[in-house]
Structure formats: structure tokens, C-alpha cells
Amino acid sequence: MWRALNQFSRSRASWLLLLLCVVGLEATALYFQHYQGLAPCVMCIYERVALFGIGVAALLGLIAPNDPFWRTLGLLGYGVTAGWALKLSLEHVSYQFPDPNQLFGATCDVAVNFPTWAPLNQWLPSVFEAYGDCSKVVWQWLGWSMPQWLVGIFSAMLVVWALVVIAQFIGRPPRRIFS
């Protein structure tokens, strides 16, 4: 299994699959926003940016998946960004379902706060402008809100990432000393 996973991570198909997952999730978010009329909140936009980061990591891995430099760069970007995305989605869930022992529930910012060198909400407001409320549960499926689904999705992405990273060390083909 480890060797097969290692070999798969060295193929363009693996990185393309990750990129297609990102594109599918981004398309789903835009569908909910523009066709279902669900207003994205600040946390939704940050989660969307994190997903774009995973897409960039997939593109890095696609450059030369058999080259250790590009594969490692892609894996590092994938792991760091998926971890950040999971942190954001857990925070978002805490806004929707606050701890009942807290006197005041936490709330998110009113507007997105991007760096001055990358004002994504000004460059592409139809994708990166937030006008929803982070604490409102506006959609559920099978009893889970959208941020709860994102916790599951980003957790699964991190599990896959961890398995692939482990396979980089365990599943290496044996070295030939004499050819």
C-alpha cells in the first residue's frame, strides 16, 4: 500500500485529482453564493482563500511530480494550507454553535481583512467580498452546517496528506547498490 501511494504521489494524476477536488469545492461555493443566494461571510471567504491555496499547492505538484523539489513544495503547501483551512472552519463552527458556558458568543469581523498588496475583495468582489453573518446557519445537509462539512472535508484532506507524506518515507522503492 505504501509503495503504491508513494508512486501515485509521483504521478500527475494525483495532483490533478487534488486540483479537481479544489475546483469542485470552489464551484460549489460559488453555486451556493450566486445561484442559491447564500451570502458568504468573512470566514467563508477566508476558507475559500485557503482552498485556493490548496489549489496552488496542487499546481506546484503538477509541475514535476517526480522531482523531489516540486513534490515536496507541493506537499508542504498542501499540508500547511489544509491545516490553516481546518483551523478556520473549526473557528467558523464555534461562531455558529458557541459554547453555552460563555457569557458572550464570539463573532467574526464585519469585513474581510486582506493585505494591502493583495486586496482580493477589490480585485474580484464577486468571489471574495463578504456580506453574510458568520454565526447564522443558513444551510444544512444531513444535520450539518456548511462549516461543519468543511471541517470534515479539510480533516479528510489532512488525513490523505499525512498518508502521502508517510508514504514518501516508508514506500520508497529500494535502492540498487549494484546495477
Catalytic residues: 41, 44, 48, 108, 134
Which residues touch 175 (CB under 8 Å, ≥6 apart)?
Answer: none
CA 64 to chain CA mean position, Å? 22
Spatial separation of the C-alpha atoms in residues 167 and 15, rounded to whole Å: 15
| Virtual torsion, Cα 6, 10, 16, 17, nearest 10 deg | -10
What b/e readout covers 143-156, taking b as 16+ CB neighbours within 10 angstroms? eebbbbbbbebbee
3-state SS string over 63-109? HCCCCHHHHHHHHHHHHHHHHHHHHHHHHHHHHHCCCCCCCCCCCCC
